[in-house]
Amino acid sequence: MDGDWDEVARIPFPPPGVHALPTPVTTMTFDNSQELLWTGNDYGRVTSFLGTEMQRYTSFKAHSAADGPVRQILVNEKGVLALGAKDVHMALRRGLPLWHIRHDDIIDLRCMSFTSKGTAEIIVAGLQDTMLVIDLNKGEVVKQIATEHQYSIMKRGRYICAATKSGIVNLLDPVSFAVVKSWNAHSALINDMDAQHDFIVTCGYSLRQGQTYMLDPFLNVFDIKQMSSMPPIPFPAGAAYVRMHPRMLTTSIVVSQSGQIHVVDLMNPNTSNVRQANVMSYLSMFEIAPSGEAIALTDADCCIHLWGSPSKLHFVDLATPIEFATADDHAPQLEWGPETPLNSVGLPFYREILASAWPDLVSDVGAPPVRFDPEFLAGLKAADFGSYGRNTRGLRRNQAEDTRNTHRGGNTGLKAPKFLSEKAREFVISDSRVSDDETD
């Protein structure tokens, strides 16, 4: 973290409705190919923010509000994945849904991780005894795995590092998902975890005097090469959140709830770079961008703080351009009159079948009109706009009727065929006769 790092932007996290109270960010992640920060809210909504100005980009519902917060977000080259307690939703970065999974074995999901298949497959887990493997290209559950442990955090390092609710981190084989090693990281529970390169780092709680949960005043480190834990790194302010630096392989950034930020080299913990984030309440989350040139912090006042060097801040090294709406080519303003032909606005160049192409459907255009039962008509009340009453016709609303057959009558024997107009006329005459009879 360079000396000129500072808070470059602070935005209020959008509340869930126009007049609704703000709610905290439930999860966030930096995109790995575009200058976007992805966030989730308490009502299943995913919103992305663009660049240094944190301008709102897209926003969509990943699942219904009744199913609670967005638990975790992952991105791959195709799009963005949002995990809810009962749903897994994948969408394009532009917001369009790709697929959505609800499954009988999904009870209460909390976390997910990419597997051995790069970014084409994930495993999802939670407070349930089954983990599910999902093929991201097909949008299908491809495998179910029974688990003795229930997981709340997952990070993909060399292994899938999965934190339980009781302070243990299991190292799962990314192919077989078998537990390779169990590491007892904290005595009560794990608050935050990261895994990259050769290390797993954790922040957690201990139960003090048997009744209050206190953040441990140290960072716990596990060395994957040695398959053993390293001496904890002291952090007197109470280590709440931690991320490994994506570029500096042995560096981690540790943050306290009150906003103290330490940049620590795991190999040389005595030389740490300390900064203070300006928070009125307390911090609730922390993320680092893949470039290592930006970090985001969220606070209990529902704000997102973006930190970095004001001159160099970027999220990814070679960002793919953001896809915006195409600028309108300022079409000439036409004077629309009753005679202006619709083809004054031309059809763009096209190669494929037009959307207006109508399929080969048989359509009946000449049938006589529907005849209403006199009892039904008599039951209607007259009003200025027409007559109204209950639908007592024994037919559905807008039900299509075959008026050719119903009005054929009881005639037998052959008759000369009639034109449709003749039939329609006869029908109208017979109808008026019916109403005449009634008035008599």
Partner 1 sequence: GSELYRELENGRIARLLMKLGTVNERQEFDGDRAWSENGERYMLKLFRDYVFHQVDGNGNPVLDMGHMLRCLNRLDAGTEEKICLNSRDEQTSFVVSYKELKKQLANAFSELQKSCKSG
Candidates 143-151, 235-243, 322-330, 416-424: pick the segment binding partner 1 (CB under 8 A). 322-330
Can you name the residues that pair with 372 across neighbouring β-strands? none
Per CB under 8 A, contacts with partner 1 among 40-69 are: 44-45, 56-64
Residue 344's SS3 state is helix
User: Which residue's CB is nearer to partner 1, number 89 or number 275?
Assistant: 89
Q: Does position 18 bind partner 1 by CB under 8 A? A: yes
Write down the least CB distance from residue 359 to partner 1, Å: 6
Token couple for 127: 């407070």
d(CA 353, CA 336): 29
Q: Going residue by residue from 91 to 120, which x/- string records binding to partner 1, judged by CB under 8 A?
A: ---xxxx--x--------------------
Residue ranges in 65-94 that form contacts with partner 1 under rule CB under 8 A: 89, 94
Interface residue with partner 1, options 3, 210, 321, 359 (CB under 8 A) = 359
Q: What is the nearest approach in angstroms of partner 1 to the Cβ of residue 285?
A: 22
Judged by CB, which is closer to partner 1: 104, or 384? 104
Q: Does 438 bind partner 1 (CB under 8 A)?
A: no
In a 10 Å sphere around its CB, with 0-12 CB exposed, 13-18 middle and 19+ buried, how is residue 192 labelled? buried
Nearer to partner 1, 136 or 288 (CB): 136
Q: Nearest CA to 378 among 386, 370, 387? A: 387
Measure the CA–CA gap between 200 and 204, rounded to whole angstroms: 13
Footprint of partner 1 on 323-352 (CB under 8 A): 323-326, 331, 333-334, 336, 340-350, 352
Q: Is 356 in the site for partner 1 (CB under 8 A)?
A: yes
385 to 252, 403, 435: CA distances (angstroms): 74, 26, 21
CB closer to partner 1 out of 146 and 334: 334
Between CA 134 and CA 124 the distance in angstroms is 8
Query: At its nearest, how many Å lie between partner 1 and the CB of residue 8?
Result: 24
DSSP secondary structure, 80-147, as one string:
EEEE-SS-EEEE-TTS-EEEEE--TT-S-EEEEEE-SSTTSEEEEEESSSEEEEEETTTTEEEEEEE-
User: CA of 230: how far to CAs of 79, 165, 201, in Å?
Assistant: 37, 22, 10
Give the binding site for partner 1 (CB under 8 A). 14, 16-18, 44-45, 56-64, 89, 94-97, 100, 323-326, 331, 333-334, 336, 340-350, 352, 354-359, 361-362
